[in-house]
Amino acid sequence: MKNSVIYAFILCFMGVATSQTLKSPNGELEMQFSVKENGTPTYSLTYKNQAVIKSSALGFSLKNEEDLLNDFTVSGIDETSYDETWEPVWGEQKEIRNHYNEMAVNLLQKGTNREVIIRFRLFDDGLGFRYEFPQQKNLGHFVIEDEKTEFAMTGDHTAFWIPGDYDTQEYDYTESKLSAIRGLMEGSITENVSQTSFSPTGVQTTLMMKTDDGLYINLHEAALVNYPVMHLNLDDENFVFESWLTPNLEGDKAYMIAPSITPWRTIIVSDDARDILASKMIYNLNEPSKIDDTSWIKPMKYVGVWWEMITGKSTWSYTNDFTAVKLGETDYESATPNGTHGATTEHVKEYIDFAAENGFDGVLVEGWNVGWEDWFGHSKDYVFDFVTPYPDFDVKEIQDYAESKGVEMIMHHETSASVRNYERHLDTAYQFMKEYGYNAVKSGYVGDILPRGENHYSQWLVNHYLYAVKEAADYGIMVNAHEAVRPTGLARTWPNLIANESARGTEYQAFGGSKPNHVTVLPFTRLIGGPMDYTPGIFEMDLSKLNPENNSHVNSTIANQLALYVTMYSPLQMAADLPANYKRFPDAFQFIKDVALDWDESIYLEAEPGDYVTVARKEKGSDNWFLGNVNGETARTSKIKFDFLDKGQKYIATIYSDAKDAHYKTNPQAYEIRKVVVDNKSKLSQFSAPGGGYAISIIPAEKSETKGMKKL
């Protein structure tokens, strides 16, 4: 990793200051720090002289000791500037510039003689700040009862929000004014197997907002380590958000030992929605990679024995003979196979063949290991051992077959949220993977957490998810964790964390459907912290065709599904549908085969949360471009220029688009494919249907290849 670091200047003001200003490198953002008369620290933020965050308080209430809320004086201020360019192991672009001005405010609480530092980093795209508790005499162990960080909005903005919840993010987004959140809360809390909401005005980050003046404001956190997830609770009379941390089973928020730091609280802001998507501030606020040799970390395109279980066409379980399983005691050898088990050696080989024929890197298989007859809902501790296959799944035979076909197997560890059990088995499970040549694992945390009373997003669990990733790094294993904490840019530090779910993924299209504009919101919310294993690529939208008992409909067109490979950035991309459905639409499937996974450059061409996202990306180490547009509920024509292409070069563009009469509900499979010649002067006016979109591959061509072809 190449780091060029320029420390511009270091300034230190000793003595007492009550108000201090910090500007972003380009001067457009300005933050003000001050201490109120009662000694409460506050900050505010402006963008191009327009207020973004009004004066907002900072601090904590502590358990059984004096709060860290007021009585502070400034004992010193350190200012620095930083400008570096770093290369991510995988990503949307080859190089990322990390450029900010920093102000560290040293605070002394007079009565208790305790010190807190608040470190602000102001970038051109936003503000990050965190609390630091240096080693000191009067503050050692302490328990945070509540973090009292405020984000005071300037008015009743439009927000794209999901209900605050300690256990799940798997909700559809609601678009509403801040003042309408309370009234809409109940209706927005849809069913999930593990969920704990906490307040009628509590929402999750990443929270995306738009002001009436056209300002886009995005609130999240970066580098969430050894600390609970921050939600936001809204005072809907004054439009002030306050941080709301996820409690542990005793109701406490965070156990701290000085010296320590909190995650960064982040505010990304722009008057152009595209800048929010292009922002790399969250990654920049994370530490550089802690993995020295990253050569084993590779983007992957995969298929899997998965959608057939999600839709109910086949099962994870092997038998219907029993409903309770005691690992080691339940006799699987004499059980009657149910005939619907998906993960059989024979069936897996069909997927391996399909992957090999179509150039996929990997095959995921779920339901391969004993225990699925009784996998959640009973608060069961010893639910899986992660190493014992079902009698009809031959690990060695499958591994040899996959290897002979040049395909990698992807392991599946469903923990059923029995986290202690997973930690007990983790080393053995990873060793088993390595023994059989698995280099990537999809893990999952379905159901209520064990130890009982803990929540998916509490400090203990946040530590667990990172522990599983760090241990995996030691084994040379890549991790894709579902139902885990939503990402906060930690993949910069641990690039083997190649994806997470942590939002409402494609699986919900089989559980009743998601809103057709869901995928136009996710890039502004969930994807801000890191890639998502969204599992796109569904071609058959009528799921009763797979399972007559499933009457769910996939709210998307085929062209929209193709575009997701470009608009939902991830180094891990699944082609989630059944091979049989791809074989019905080989011309559309071609795009999934062709599309790249890793990029030198990404250019957001059009963006509006809830309505549309259009992005062009240049494949890493090649001159190929891929472009994707996803569209919300209303049909739209997007107008784009190809001026990002190399001057003088001709390209063949294959455009996969919605037919004129396409519609996510009534006509989702109506698509058109056309090939045209483009260069950097070309312009495109392209129709997208409701819940639709388009995908384009743009490949450099010799003059002779373009002869007789139509120019755009």
Q: Which x/- pattern over 396-425 shows residues binding ligand NOJ (rule: CB under 6 A)?
A: ------------------x-----------
Q: Is the dihedral of CA 514, 518, 522, 524 positive or negative?
A: negative
What residue 366 binds from ligand NOJ, Ca ion, none (CB within 5 to 8 A, per partner kind)?
ligand NOJ
Figure out which of the listed residues 117, 193, 225, 446 binds ligand NOJ, where binding follows CB under 6 A. 446
Query: Could you give the CA distance from residue 170 to residue 533 in angstroms, rounded to a whole number?
Result: 13
Tokens of 550: 């499933």
Q: Judged by CB under 6 A, does residue 577 bind ligand NOJ?
A: no
Closest distance of CB 687 from ligand NOJ, Å: 33
Closest distance of CB 446 from Ca ion, Å: 7
Number of residues that bind ligand NOJ (CB under 6 A): 9
What value does the CA radius of gyration of the chain take, rounded to a whole number of Å?
26
Total residue count of the chain as it appears in this document: 712
Figure out which of the listed residues 366, 374, 394, 619 binds ligand NOJ, where binding follows CB under 6 A. 366
In three-state secondary structure terms, 41 is strand
Tokens of 212: 């009436």
Tokens of 354: 């399909």
What residue 102 binds from ligand NOJ, Ca ion, none (CB within 5 to 8 A, per partner kind)?
none
State the amino acid at position 465 in one-letter form: Y
State the amino acid at position 177 in one-letter form: K
Beta bridge partners of 210: 158, 216
Q: b/e map of 229-262 (b: 16 or more CB within 10 Å)?
A: bbbbbbebeebbbbbbbbbbeeebbbbbebebbb
Tokens of 385: 């051992």
What residue 485 binds from ligand NOJ, Ca ion, none (CB within 5 to 8 A, per partner kind)?
none
Q: Which x/- pattern over 489-518 shows residues binding Ca ion (rule: CB under 5 A)?
A: ------------x-----------------
Tokens of 344: 């059989």
What residue 414 binds from ligand NOJ, Ca ion, none (CB within 5 to 8 A, per partner kind)?
ligand NOJ
User: By CB under 6 A, what part of segment 273-332 binds ligand NOJ?
Assistant: 306, 310
User: By CB under 6 A, what part of segment 504-523 binds ligand NOJ?
Assistant: 507
Closest distance of CB 497 from ligand NOJ, Å: 16
Closer to ligand NOJ at the Cβ: 169 or 629? 169
Catalytic annotation, pick one of 92, 175, 507, 619? 507
Closer to Ca ion at the Cβ: 281 or 510? 510
Own/partner long-range contacts of 547-552 (Cβ < 8 Å, ≥24 apart): 547/311, 547/312, 547/313, 549/312, 550/311, 550/312, 550/510, 552/311, 552/509, 552/510, 552/511, 552/512, 552/513
Closest distance of CB 391 from ligand NOJ, Å: 20
Closer to ligand NOJ at the Cβ: 306 or 368? 306
Closer to ligand NOJ at the Cβ: 378 or 584? 378
In three-state secondary structure terms, 135 is coil
Number of residues that bind Ca ion (CB under 5 A): 2
Best CA proximity match to 654, nearest among 681, 627, 680:
627
Figure out which of the listed residues 126, 362, 444, 692 binds ligand NOJ, where binding follows CB under 6 A. 444
Closer to ligand NOJ at the Cβ: 535 or 555? 535
Q: Is the dihedral of CA 71, 72, 73, 75 positive or negative?
A: positive
| Cβ–Cβ under 8 Å, residues 623 and 646 | yes
| Cβ–Cβ under 8 Å, residues 577 and 540 | yes
Figure out which of the listed residues 102, 501, 540, 600 binds ligand NOJ, where binding follows CB under 6 A. 501
Angle at 145 between CA 142 and CA 146, to 5 degrees: 120
507 is catalytic: yes
Q: Which x/- pattern over 446-485 shows residues binding Ca ion (rule: CB under 5 A)?
A: ------------------------------------x---
What residue 175 binds from Ca ion, ligand NOJ, none (CB within 5 to 8 A, per partner kind)?
none
| Cβ–Cβ under 8 Å, residues 96 and 71 | no
Closest distance of CB 501 from ligand NOJ, Å: 5
Closer to Ca ion at the Cβ: 447 or 609? 447
Chain residues binding ligand NOJ by CB under 6 A are 306, 310, 366, 414, 444, 446, 482, 501, 507
Chain residues binding Ca ion by CB under 5 A are 482, 501
| Catalytic residue set | 507
